[in-house]
């Protein structure tokens, strides 16, 4: 009684049928001739029909074999097209990579490092969603995320530590030229400030400063006001990094710093992680090795 055929033998059958010769089929498949011959015999046994007439030189399809070939060829072609369309099956990373990250991380750090990633992997497209909200990666269809935390609360995610995030005190050159810079934390109350209310664990000298010209819950707004010389501001180093290099901000009290958390690359657990995800993860790990978010900007 015929059994269930081994569909892994389908490519082998089609190769023999199209070659008309087991040796030629074996060469195209990169398989031993004996394996091809045994595979054809196994497929015939499972179907309960003879698929080929065999001679010492070649093979010819039987009537049943021709009928099976006519049905098998489009099935095999469709299977190859389907698997070839899956980005993770390809040699190079490809497809759309959907990620989320904190707004300030996305608009500063990622803006600086993602163009190089896209040049390196032209088959990958990015869908980036900046937000300060902690997204449900699986429920919202994200491939990965960057998260800033002391430690991750969601134990269902796979996390790769990228590096620490530190705060520094920054001001515009025009402000420093006009009002000077504090030489110690005890002198901070004498200066004008742009305060970001979302920062916690600041030392007493930097909390509730009465000299604040602006208080805001938007970190990017505080950054912009500091650049406009409204006052000094406590900012993440990664947010001020490019401005320091360009001379738009200077770091005051450079010996003072405060670590506020660690940046993690996280993704849902997967037995076979898509290549586009591992490519971005490895790219960011490499970037952090060369340019951490804790520069000594002076």
Q: Cβ(124)–Cβ(153) under 8 Å?
A: no
CATH number at residue 194: 3.40.190.10
Do both 251 and 273 map to the same domain? no
Tell me if 196 is assigned to some domain: yes
CATH number at residue 20: 1.10.10.10
Tell me if 298 is assigned to some domain: no
- For 203, the 3-state DSSP assignment is coil
> In the Cβ-directed half-sphere of 297, how many Cα atoms lie within 13 Å?
30
b/e map 44-55, b = 16+ CB within 10 Å: beebeeebbeee
Q: What is the pLDDT of residue 289?
A: 79
Do both 143 and 280 map to the same domain? yes
Number of structural domains in the chain: 3
Do both 194 and 211 map to the same domain? yes
Number of other CB atoms surrounding residue 116 within 10 Å: 12
Helices 10-19 and 22-29, interaxial angle, to 10°? 130
Tell me if 296 is assigned to some domain: no
Q: How confident is the model at residue 81 (pLDDT cuts 50, 70, 90)?
A: low
Range of the domain at 255: 166-260
Q: What is the pLDDT of residue 233?
A: 95
Do both 52 and 76 map to the same domain? yes
How do residues 15-63 score in pLDDT, each as one tens digit? 888 888 888 888 877 777 888 888 888 888 888 889 888 887 788 899 8
Q: What is 78-112 written as a DSSP string?
A: HHHHHHHT-GGGSSS--EEEEEEE-HHIIIIIIHH
Over residues 230-245, mean pLDDT: 90
Do both 129 and 191 map to the same domain? no
Do both 176 and 207 map to the same domain? yes
User: Can you give the length of the chain in residues?
Assistant: 298
> Over the chain, what is the mean pLDDT?
85
> Per mean pLDDT, which of 61-75, 134-148, 221-235 is the most reliable?
221-235
Do both 15 and 74 map to the same domain? yes
Q: How far apart are CA 294 and CA 237, in angstroms?
A: 6
How do residues 128-155 score in pLDDT, each as one tens digit? 999 988 888 888 889 999 998 866 666 6
Q: What is the pLDDT of residue 197?
A: 84
Q: How confident is the model at residue 221 (pLDDT cuts 50, 70, 90)?
A: very high
Which ranges of the chain does DSSP label H, i.e. alpha helix?
10-19, 22-29, 33-47, 63-84, 103-104, 111-120, 173-179, 219-227, 237-246, 275-290
Residue 86 pLDDT > 80: no
Going by C-alpha positions, the residue among 154, 156, 140, 158 that lies closest to residue 98 is 140
Do both 63 and 178 map to the same domain? no
Do both 187 and 200 map to the same domain? yes
Tell me if 234 is assigned to some domain: yes
Q: Cβ(149)–Cβ(262) under 8 Å?
A: yes
Tell me if 230 is assigned to some domain: yes
* Angle ∠(170,176,181) on CA atoms, nearest 5: 75
How do residues 261-285 score in pLDDT, each as one tens digit? 889 999 988 777 888 999 999 999 9
Q: How confident is the model at residue 298 (pLDDT cuts 50, 70, 90)?
A: very low
| Residue 8 DSSP one-character state | G
Phi/psi for 139 (5° steps) reads -65, -30
Q: What is the pLDDT of residue 194?
A: 94
Domain boundary among 63, 85, 107: 85
């Amino acid at each position: 009684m015929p059994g269930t055929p081994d569909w892994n033998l389908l490519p082998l059958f089609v190769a023999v049928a199209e070659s008309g010769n087991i040796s030629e089929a074996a060469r195209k498949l990169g398989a031993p001739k004996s394996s091809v011959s045994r595979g054809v015999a196994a497929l015939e046994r499972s179907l309960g029909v003879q698929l080929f007439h065999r001679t010492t030189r070649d093979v010819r399809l039987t009537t049943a074999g021709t009928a099976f070939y006519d049905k098998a060829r489009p099935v095999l072609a469709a299977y190859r097209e389907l698997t070839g369309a899956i980005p993770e099956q390809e040699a190079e990373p490809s497809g759309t990579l959907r990620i989320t990250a904190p707004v300030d991380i996305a608009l500063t750090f990622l803006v600086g490092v993602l163009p190089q990633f896209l040049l390196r992997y032209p088959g990958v497209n990015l869908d980036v969603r900046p937000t300060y909200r902690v997204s449900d990666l699986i429920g919202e269809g994200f491939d990965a995320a960057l998260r800033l935390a002391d430690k991750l609360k969601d134990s269902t995610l796979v996390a790769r530590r990228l590096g620490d995030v530190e705060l520094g005190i920054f001001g515009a050159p025009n402000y420093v030229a006009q009002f000077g810079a504090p030489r110690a934390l005890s002198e901070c109350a004498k200066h004008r400030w742009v305060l970001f209310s979302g920062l916690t664990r600041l030392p007493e000298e930097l909390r509730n400063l009465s000299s604040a010209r602006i208080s805001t819950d938007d970190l990017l707004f505080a950054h912009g006001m500091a650049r406009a010389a409204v006052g000094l501001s406590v900012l993440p180093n990664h947010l001020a990094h490019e401005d320091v290099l360009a001379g738009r901000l200077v770091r005051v009290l450079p010996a003072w710093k405060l670590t506020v958390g660690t940046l993690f690359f996280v993704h849902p657990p997967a037995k076979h992680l898509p290549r586009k995800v591992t490519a971005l993860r490895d790219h960011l790990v490499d970037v952090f090795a060369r340019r951490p978010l804790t520069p000594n900007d002076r």
